[in-house]
Each structure stands twice: as structure tokens, then as C-alpha cells.
Structure 1
Amino acid sequence: MKSYLRILRAAGLALGLAFGAVPAPAQQPAAPKPASPAALAAAKEILAMKNANQMYVNAVPNIVAQTKDSLLQANLNYQKDLNEVAVIVAQSLAGREKEIGEGMAQVYASEFTDQELKDLVTFYKSPLGQKLLVSEPKAIQLSMAYMNQWAQSFAEIVNAQFRAEMRKRGKQI
């Protein structure tokens, strides 16, 4: 499951880099339109079938740990206290990661019609949909590996062309 999370993070990074050139106003997420209870239920079902909660199940403890580590860098004398406070904060905020799931369901419900969501649920319950749920993480992982390999190889080509053009100008780099 950790490799699946790494794949999702890498895919998210790749998508972020791909869309990074979008003008700033277009990057502001629009507030999702209100969804019907049926649409939200279908969206939640889809997300459950896709095990989307695995993407954010450790969000609270991870953010608490990152915050503690950040504070610790500037306050080394408070290590014992910060460690103790981290436990208290993590306990007091436990369960808040479910807000991510609710938000994701709202986004799905606002992007698809009620009928489309029902059709997606039906699809994911079909043999092909089940195969997609099982095979897609591996396909994404292999695609990302291919993309990384291609990028590395292409970067070497670009580098060689830069060097050749610079040599034409009498400059060795």
C-alpha cells in the first residue's frame, strides 16, 4: 500500500508540474456546487471502492509530526515538551482526516451528475471495473517509471544538444 501512496504522490507531482504553467486565477479551485444526498452517497461509495482513504489516512499524525519537527528545529531546548505536546495534539485532532474524504466526495459529486455517479458505481462493480481497481495502481506505477526513464534519457539528449551548440560558439561546458 505504501508503494500505491508513493505512486499517487508521484502522479500528483507530475500533474502539478504539468499544470504549473496555468495562470494563477485559473489555479484557484472553485467552490464545489451543492450536491444531492444521493450524489454524495454515490461519490462516497466510489471513493470507498477506490480505497481513496489510503491517501489521507495518516494525514493528521503526519502533519502533527511535521509541525513538531519544524518547531523543534528552532527550539531544540524544548524537545521533550514538543514530543509530549505532539501526542496531545494528535489525540485531540484524531479523526479530522475524515474531512478530506468528505471534501473529496463533495468534489466528485459536483463534477459528475447523479446519473454519472450511479453509472460509475455500476461500472466499478462490474468485472472490468473491478479489474481497473486492482490493475490501475500497477499501471500508474509502470507509467510513472516509464515517464521518469524517458525524462532522464531525454534530458541527456537535451544536455548533449546544449553542449554541441555551445561548442559551436567556442565555449566548452
Structure 2
Amino acid sequence: MKMVFRMLPAASLLLVLALMGLPAGAQQPTAPKPATPGAIAAAKEILALKHASAMYANAVPNIVQRTKDTLLQTNLNYQKDLDEVAVIVAKKLAGRENEIGDGMAQIYAAEFTEQELKDLVTFYKSPLGQKLLTNEPRAIQLSMNYMNQWAQHFAGIVNGEFRAEMRKRGKQI
């Protein structure tokens, strides 16, 4: 989960760059099309092959902890109670993170046909698909690192251009 949060700034930059090329109408979400049970099953299998649940496995305890910490900031006298209540709430809501997986499966099933999803399952089970599943996280991490380095370097160039243009106007910044 920590790796996901470390990648968020770079992922956000990538998303912004990707959206800049889309027409305004393409950015509006549309209602998902109804999915067949077979499409949902194939989508869940793809997510299982990709170990997607690792991304949200600790969602419930993490949100319970963050909520407790937030409440504690303005209710310091209730620390003992909030600690005890956090355990109760976490137990009561345990398993709700599975809703994320179900939602992700719905999204996949809305974006791909049932046959496409079945073809993807076949691909991910193939030697090349297995290699992709094994090597893709590293490739993504290296790509994110490269993108962050590029963005830092490019920000320096942009800063230099701003300064040069401001000097032309007789202003030092």
C-alpha cells in the first residue's frame, strides 16, 4: 500500500498529461453498461491473476486508523476510548474492502466485452502473460521513477525560462 501512495504523485502527473490530449467531452464519465455474469467472473479472474487485492487489502484498517487519528486531534481526552472503538469498528467492518474488488470487476466488465475478458485471462495464463504479470510492476516502478526525474529536470528548465523572460522585463525573481 505504501508503494501505491509513493507512486500517486507521478501517477497524477501521468493522468494529467494523458487527459490534456483528450477532447473535453471524452473526460466525462459515462454510466457503465450492464455486465454479464461471465464478464464479471472473467474480470475477477484477471484481477486475481494480477494480485489486485494487494492494493486494497488493508483499506479498512487504514481508513479506521486515519479516522481515529483525525478524531483524536480534536478529542485528546478520548484517546483510550477511541483506541478501543477503533478495534470494534475495524472488526465490524472487516471484509468491506472486498467491495473494492467487486467494483473494479464491474469497471473491467464495463470496459471490455466478455470475450475480450476471457481472451485476457487466456493471455495472462500464457508464458508471455505470466512474464508480464511478473515484470510489469518493476517496469511501472522504473517508469514512474524516470517520469519523476524527467519532471524534476523539466521543472528546472521551465523555471529557467520564467526567470529569463522576467529578466527581459527587468524583474529579478
Aligned-pair Cα RMSD in Å: 2.3
**Any conservation in 1 of the 2:43–2:108 contact (CA below 8 Å)?**
yes
Distance 1:11 1:109, change over 3 A: farther
The aligned counterpart of 2:139 is 139
The aligned counterpart of 1:60 is 60
Distance 1:10 1:106, change over 3 A: same
Give the whole-Å Cα distance in 2 for the aligned partners of 1:7 and 1:118.
32
Deviation at 1:165, TM superposition (A): 1.1
**Any conservation in 2 of the 1:35–1:106 contact (CA below 8 Å)?**
yes
- Aligned residues: percent identity? 73
**Residue correspondence of structure 1 range 1-173 to structure 2 within 5 A:** 3=3, 5-6=4-5, 9-10=8-9, 12-18=11-17, 29-173=29-173
Give the whole-Å Cα distance in 2 for the aligned partners of 1:11 and 1:149.
10
Distance 1:68 1:106, change over 3 A: same
Amino acid paired to 2:53: N
Number of matched pairs: 172
Amino acid paired to 1:80: K
Give the whole-Å Cα distance in 2 for the aligned partners of 1:27 and 1:64.
32
Deviation at 1:37, TM superposition (A): 1.2
What's the TM-score once normalised by structure 1's chain length? 0.89
Q: Secondary structure at the match of 1:72?
A: helix
* Higher mean displacement: 149-158 or 30-39: 30-39
Q: Secondary structure at the match of 2:119?
A: helix
Amino acid paired to 2:156: E
Give the whole-Å Cα distance in 1 for the aligned partners of 2:130 and 2:17.
29
Q: Secondary structure at the match of 2:90?
A: helix
Distance 1:109 1:154, change over 3 A: same
Give the whole-Å Cα distance in 2 for the aligned partners of 1:161 and 1:10.
24
Amino acid paired to 1:135: N
Amino acid paired to 1:66: R
What's the TM-score once normalised by structure 2's chain length? 0.89
1:121-145 CA-partner distances (Å, limit 9, x unpaired):
0110111111110111011011111
Q: Which runs of 5+ in 2 are unaligned?
A: none
**Any conservation in 2 of the 1:7–1:141 contact (CA below 8 Å)?**
no
Deviation at 1:25, TM superposition (A): 8.3
Distance 1:20 1:69, change over 3 A: farther
Distance 1:64 1:18, change over 3 A: farther
